[in-house]
Amino acid sequence: MARWEPGARERLVAAAVDLFTENGYDATTVAQIAERAGVTRSTFFRHFADKREVLVAGQDTLSRLLVEGIAAAPAGASPLEAVAAGLERASGALGPENREMVPRIKAAVAASGELQERDALKSVGLAAAMTGALIAREVPEATAQLAAELGILAFKRGYAAWSQADPEDGTGLATHALAALAELRAATVTLG
């Protein structure tokens, strides 16, 4: 097995998503994922604690990028403008390979209650990181939480729109995420 070839982590994610889609999450083993990726089980465990963690492989990076973007927003930026800066920074890290995985990941998550739970926890973690970054900018806690939750919802909606858009149009995830945030911001006005 080619355990020392570069890209083992990415191959493991692709193999897991394919197997979860083909066989179901519960019927897929770590050994099968490792074999499909062309690595050993020990290589799998160097990258992931268990098979559930494969689908949230980029959460730490995404969280870090969201926080960095919020922190780098101009001093006078509103909470949602800071969130937009975070979305823009995080979106820039996701490329065509991520876009291609979206339908397969959605299918795998939809078919497994355990993966749905883990996906929900991912959203909670991302929102908490964004809330913390906004509080560090001296945004009041309730406002920071609301802005972060809107940011997560905008990211999800933008990600869905991006994955369904024509890949040839050249529109990146950031464009879709920022459009979703603007739409949500406008919708808040109608809440009363």
Q: 97-130, pLDDT tens digit by residue? A: 777 777 788 888 888 888 888 888 888 999 999 9
Thinking of the domain 8-54, which architecture would CATH place it in? Orthogonal Bundle (1.10)
- Can you give the length of the chain in residues? 192
pLDDT at 1 over 50: no
Tokens representing 152 are 């997560």
Question: What is the CATH code for 58-189?
Answer: 1.10.357.10
Structural domain boundaries in the chain: 8-54, 58-189
pLDDT in tens, 136-191: 999 999 999 999 999 999 999 998 898 888 877 778 889 999 999 999 999 998 98
Q: What percent of the chain has pLDDT over 70?
A: 96
Q: How far is CA 82 from CA 5, 49, 86, 100, 172, in A?
A: 39, 33, 6, 29, 19
Dist. CA 71–CA 115, nearest whole Å: 31
